[in-house]
């Protein structure tokens, strides 16, 4: 019996398994990875903010000098903005159908998220190093 063609995909394409978007399940998977990371990080951040809510600047600056505290806040910021970038992309792709407006919005929102996330991360580092 001769080999019948069961799929239009090339053998290499099938092995890679990345599909037409050429990224496979990467977007979906990273959204779950960041989600799992954010569960403990956000609970810890919530506890920290509850404790710091009424603090003056001196007490706040001292807390940020603690490396354990600083790394938790920094990881929370990085995971949150990454998760936000992935989520915002899905919402934009769902609701904006014209290609030009979609790409423009995706670019603008992605840049804005990295800008704001960058400011947040640098602020944490500045507080930690006490510069």
In order of 5, 47, 76, 89, 116, the CA distances from 111 in angstroms are 45, 30, 19, 12, 9
E strand or H helix at 103:
helix 99-129
Near other proteins by CB under 8 A: residue from 53, 67, 68, 100:
53
Burial class (CB in 10 A: 0-12, 13-18, 19+), 76: buried
Question: Judged by CB under 8 A, does residue 101 bind other proteins?
Answer: no
Q: Which residue is listed with tokens 């949150």?
A: 80
Interface residue with other proteins, options 57, 67, 68, 100 (CB under 8 A): 57
Residue of 18, 25, 39, 101 interacting with other proteins (CB under 8 A): 39
CB 35 within 8 A of CB 86: no
| 32 lies in the binding site for other proteins (CB under 8 A) | yes
Smallest distance from other proteins to CB 35, Å = 5
Residues that bind other proteins (CB under 8 A): 32, 35-36, 38-39, 42-43, 46, 49-51, 53-54, 56-58, 60-61, 64, 73, 77, 80-81, 84, 87-88, 91, 113, 116-117, 119-120, 122-124, 126-127
């Amino acid at each position: 019996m001769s080999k019948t063609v069961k799929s239009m995909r090339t053998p290499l394409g099938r092995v890679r398994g990345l599909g037409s978007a050429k990224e496979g399940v990467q977007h979906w998977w990273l959204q779950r990875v960041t989600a799992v990371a954010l569960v403990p990080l956000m609970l810890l951040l919530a506890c920290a903010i509850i404790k710091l809510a009424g603090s003056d600047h001196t007490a706040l600056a001292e807390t940020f000098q603690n490396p354990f505290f600083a790394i938790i806040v920094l990881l929370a910021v990085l995971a949150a903005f990454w998760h936000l970038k992935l989520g915002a992309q899905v919402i934009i792709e769902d609701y904006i159908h014209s290609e030009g407006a979609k790409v423009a919005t995706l670019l603008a929102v992605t840049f804005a998220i990295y800008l704001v996330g960058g400011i947040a991360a640098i602020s944490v580092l500045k507080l930690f190093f006490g510069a």
